[in-house]
Amino acid sequence: MHPEIADVVRRALEEDIGPGDVTSEACIPADRQASGEFIAREPQVIAGVELLPLIYDRCKVHKQPGDQVAAGDVIAQVHGSARALLSRERVALNFLQRLSGIATLAAQYVDRVAGTGCRVLDTRKTTPGLRRLEKMAAAAGGVTNHRMGLYDAILIKNNHIEAAGGVRAALEAARSSSKLPIEIEVRTRQELTEALDAGATHLLLDNFAPPEAAALVQLIAGRATVEISGGVTLDNVRAYAQSGANFVSSGAITHSARAVDISFRLKWNML
């Protein structure tokens, strides 16, 4: 487990519990033991279950990241002090519901492009501080992780091109200063031609309609790897994938995923 993840969980528990769960401490005897189940309330793709052992001392996980579950399926069971189980319930559900929501939406995108040979990428449009977790969830849904941050690949976008003085200038400056992979965004046919003439090997077609994107992929004719981005939704992702592009990317997978319905049920008779 990456130390960044353990730190996120620790901070989430501190945020919610603070100096103590006053309700549980007021209502429940300190020596009361219990068990609890996390139960799916709707069909979904599971993510985030690997965090449960960081939240609970005694935990049995029944589903793994990427598993498809039905309503009523038990995702995991936890055991221990009733006070501890209840004080950690909301944090556990927040993680499970949010991350499983991302995995579920990611799986829908992947299903929509099935058979096209095109792969779906995620983006950096993530919740601040939760990127590693949200990208793990996207991968659990079958999406391919793109850049983790600004440090692991060069992606030249329109503002970089403007500041550098043009497509060729931006590409040449990037090549001269780094050995990292280089991708460049193009927004017009002219920029695409300039990028290819300058030796670009990875192009990002941004905000083209599916027919325009397909025409540009034909123009590229295999001379560069192609990613399509901008306005990619569940409704149109297959049309983009059928353009012949290698990749489509959608920020919605992480920034607009709906939290799925998961409940926590406390039981006294399971020990």
Question: pLDDT of 23-70, one tens digit each?
Answer: 999 999 999 999 999 999 999 999 999 999 999 999 999 999 999 999
The reply to whether 111 belongs to the active site is no
Q: Which of 157, 168, 172, 261 is catalytic?
A: 157
Query: Is-catalytic flag, 90?
Result: yes
Domain 116-255 CATH class label: alpha beta
Among this protein's residues, is 135 annotated catalytic?
A: no
pLDDT for res 270: 44
Q: Which amino acid is at 203?
A: L
**Catalytic residue among 50, 73, 90, 147, which?**
90
Q: Which of 122, 194, 206, 227 is catalytic?
A: 206
Active-site pick, 134, 183, 185, 227: 185
CATH of span 3-109+257-267: 3.90.1170.20
Tell me which of 125, 131, 132, 168 is the catalytic residue.
125
**Please, what sign has the CA dihedral across residues 246, 251, 256, 261?**
positive
Q: Which residues pair with 77 in a beta bridge?
A: 37, 60
Q: Is 31 a catalytic residue?
A: no
Domain ranges of the chain: 3-109+257-267, 116-255
Question: Nearest 5°: CA angle at 156, between 155 and 161?
Answer: 175
Number of other CB atoms surrounding residue 106 within 10 Å: 29
Active site residue 172: no
pLDDT beneath 50, residues of the chain? 270-271
Q: What pLDDT does 269 receive?
A: 54
For 38, the token pair is: 């996390």
- Bridge partners of 76, per DSSP, are 38, 61
> Token digits for 168?
């060729």
